[in-house]
C-alpha cells in the first residue's frame, strides 16, 4: 500500500505542478512562463518526486511507464493494475484541486482547454490526428529508453532523476505545439474529465499512443541494453 500511495501522491504532484503551470502561470499577462516554463515545470515535478519516492515505488507516475517497465522486465505484472489505478486517481485529485483554484478568478472556463491534450482543431498548432499519434509514440518510446537506461544498474548511480526530468522537459519543448504533450495517460485523463466533450472524445489517442511508444521503447532497450556478459 505504501507503493500505491507513493504513486498516488506522485502523480498528484505531476498533474498539479505541470498542468498547474500551464493553467495558472503560462498565460499570466506580461509575466507568463510560456512553453519553456511549462516544459520545465513538468520536468521538475518528475525529478523532485523521483528523489522523494523513487526508493518507495520507483516513481512511475504514468501508466505507460509502468507498462513499459513491465515489458522491459523491470516490473511485475501483478502490480500493473493497482499502480495504474493509483496513478489515475492521484492525477484526478490533483486536477480537481487545480480546478478549484483556477475557478477562483473571473472568466475561468475549463471548456477552453484546462491543459488538456488534443489534435486537429484542439491541437495548439492545429496538427492532424496522425501527427499527434506519431509524435506521442516516438516521444514516449525515447522516454522509456532514457528511463530504462538511466536506471540500469550499470549506469552512474544517483543521476537517473535528473536525466528523466530533463528528458520530460525536452519532450514538452518539442511537442506542446502538437498535442499539448501527454506521453502519460493519467495526466491526460485527469484534466480531460473536467473539460469533457472533445477532450474525453479524443482521450483514446493519449492512452493508445503512449502505451504503444512505451512498449516499443522497452523492446528497443532490451535489445540495445542487453549485457554481453556471459
Mean pLDDT over all residues of the chain? 93
70-80 average pLDDT score = 94
User: Does residue 56 contact residue 182 with C-beta atoms inside 8 Å?
Assistant: no
DSSP structural state of residue 154: T
Q: Helix 185-195 crosses helix 80-102 at what angle (to 10 degrees)?
A: 40
Which strand (E) or helix (H) includes residue 101?
Answer: helix 80-102
Residue 211's nearest CA partner among 65, 7, 60, 93 is 65
Q: Report CA-CA distances (Å) from 205 to 59, 108, 211.
A: 24, 27, 10
Cα separation, 22 vs 209, whole angstroms: 22
Alpha-helical runs (H) found in the chain? 2-14, 20, 34-57, 63-71, 80-102, 129-150, 160-179, 185-195, 197-201, 205-224
Classified as helix, coil or strand, 62 is: coil
Cα separation, 154 vs 222, whole angstroms: 14
Provide the pLDDT for residue 109: 84
% of the chain beyond a pLDDT of 70: 98
Residue 72 phi, psi dihedral angles, 5° rounding: -80, 0
pLDDT in tens, 156-207: 888 999 999 999 999 999 999 999 999 999 999 999 999 989 999 999 999 9
Rg value, the chain, Cα: 17
**CB neighbours of residue 56 within 10 Å:** 14
Residue 115's nearest CA partner among 207, 34, 181, 40 is 181
Residue 132 phi, psi dihedral angles, 5° rounding: -65, -45
Provide the pLDDT for residue 228: 54
Q: Helices H, strands E: what count in the chain?
A: 10, 0
Comparing 107 with 51, which gets the higher pLDDT?
A: 51
Residue 98 has pLDDT above 60, yes or no: yes
Provide the pLDDT for residue 123: 94
Amino acid at each position: 500500500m505504501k507503493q500505491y500511495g507513493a504513486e498516488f501522491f506522485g502523480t498528484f504532484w505531476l498533474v498539479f505542478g505541470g498542468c498547474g503551470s500551464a493553467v495558472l502561470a503560462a498565460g499570466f499577462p506580461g509575466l507568463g512562463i510560456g512553453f519553456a516554463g511549462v516544459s520545465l515545470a513538468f520536468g521538475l515535478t518528475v525529478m523532485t518526486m523521483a528523489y522523494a519516492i523513487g526508493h518507495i515505488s520507483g516513481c512511475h507516475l504514468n501508466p505507460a511507464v509502468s507498462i513499459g517497465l513491465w515489458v522491459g522486465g523491470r516490473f511485475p505484472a501483478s502490480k500493473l493494475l493497482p499502480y495504474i489505478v493509483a496513478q489515475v486517481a492521484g492525477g484526478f485529485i490533483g486536477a480537481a484541486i487545480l480546478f478549484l483554484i483556477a475557478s477562483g478568478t473571473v472568466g475561468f472556463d475549463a471548456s477552453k482547454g484546462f491543459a488538456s491534450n488534443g489534435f486537429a482543431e484542439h491541437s495548439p498548432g492545429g496538427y492532424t490526428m496522425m501527427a499527434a499519434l506519431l509524435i506521442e509514440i516516438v516521444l514516449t518510446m525515447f522516454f522509456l529508453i532514457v528511463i530504462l537506461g538511466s536506471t540500469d544498474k550499470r549506469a552512474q548511480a544517483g543521476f537517473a532523476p535528473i536525466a528523466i526530468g530533463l528528458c520530460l522537459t525536452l519532450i514538452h519543448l518539442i511537442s506542446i505545439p502538437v498535442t499539448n504533450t501527454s506521453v502519460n495517460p493519467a495526466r491526460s485523463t485527469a484534466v480531460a474529465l473536467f473539460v469533457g466533450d472533445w477532450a474525453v472524445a479524443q482521450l483514446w489517442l493519449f492512452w493508445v499512443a503512449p502505451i504503444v511508444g512505451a512498449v516499443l521503447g522497452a523492446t528497443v532497450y532490451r535489445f540495445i541494453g542487453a549485457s554481453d556478459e556471459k
